[in-house]
Structure 1
Amino acid sequence: MNVMNELFSIEEVDDFVSNHHLAFLYISRTNCSVCHALLPKIKEVMGDFPKIQLSLVNADHVPAIAGHLSIFTVPVIILYVDGKEILREARFVHVEQFREKVKKVYSLTQQ
């Protein structure tokens, strides 16, 4: 099972993305009800993809993340392959559609 660690700086985010073949960021805020409702569903989906490394960024703790990643709302979920952003979803995420998109990217990276 992949574990979701929290990152606390732009440098940690950049290091995380650049040091993992498959890197996933979940960006949220403390008082965001959508963020807190979506997180367990996303964790469940990501459990099907054990090679993807997961991290959480609280935009309240890392306010510069918004400008750094061009984030205008939360939650935002971003999947990187070899440091390149491949998939981004924001605010209202359709979980099953998201699962299918991740499955497609994941299968292509495992060949």
Structure 2
Amino acid sequence: MKEIHELTSMDMVDSFIQQHTLTLLYVSRQECSVCHALLPKIRELLQPYPSIALGHIDANQVEEVASKFLIFTVPMMLVLVEQKEVVRADRFVRLDRLAEQLEQIYSSYA
């Protein structure tokens, strides 16, 4: 199963993004049932992509994440390539579409 890096501060988030060329940030909240259901599916979806680092941010714990990335709802998935956002998916994610986007990104950068 894909390793999840728990990011508990904006300094950790910024450092994580800088350390990895390909990053998927998963932003959730404790009380969000959709968030809890979707995270295992995202982990499974990322399994074939070892170079994509998965970071998890609890928006209740790291409140600044909402303003930094303009997040209005959770769950939110942000895919970054070389620290630039290339994919944004929120709330009700079409996993098939996200998988296609990840494949395109991965084949170009990995």
TM-score by length of 1: 0.95
Equivalence for 1:69: 69
- Give identity over the alignment, percent: 42
Q: Distance in 2 between matches of 1:2 and 1:44?
A: 7
Runs of 5+ in structure 1 lacking a partner? none
- In the TM superposition, residue 21 of structure 1 has moved relative to its aligned partner by 0.8
Equivalence for 2:37: 37
Equivalence for 1:25: 25
- In the TM superposition, residue 23 of structure 1 has moved relative to its aligned partner by 1.2
Q: What is the one-letter code of the residue matched to 1:27?
A: V
Equivalence for 1:3: 3
Secondary structure class of the residue paired with 2:41: helix
Q: Alpha carbon RMSD of aligned pairs, Å?
A: 1.0
Q: What is the one-letter code of the residue matched to 1:90?
A: D
TM-score by length of 2: 0.96
How many matched pairs?
Answer: 110
- In the TM superposition, residue 48 of structure 1 has moved relative to its aligned partner by 1.2
Q: Distance in 2 between matches of 1:78 and 1:68?
A: 12
Equivalence for 1:92: 92
Secondary structure class of the residue paired with 1:17: helix
Q: Is the 8 A contact 2:4 2:54 kept in 1?
A: yes
Q: Distance in 1 between matches of 2:4 and 2:83?
A: 18
Task: Give 4+ residue runs of structure 1 displaced > 6 Å after superposition.
Answer: none
Runs of 5+ in structure 2 lacking a partner? none
Q: Distance in 2 between matches of 1:42 and 1:51?
A: 15
Q: What is the one-letter code of the residue matched to 1:98?
A: L
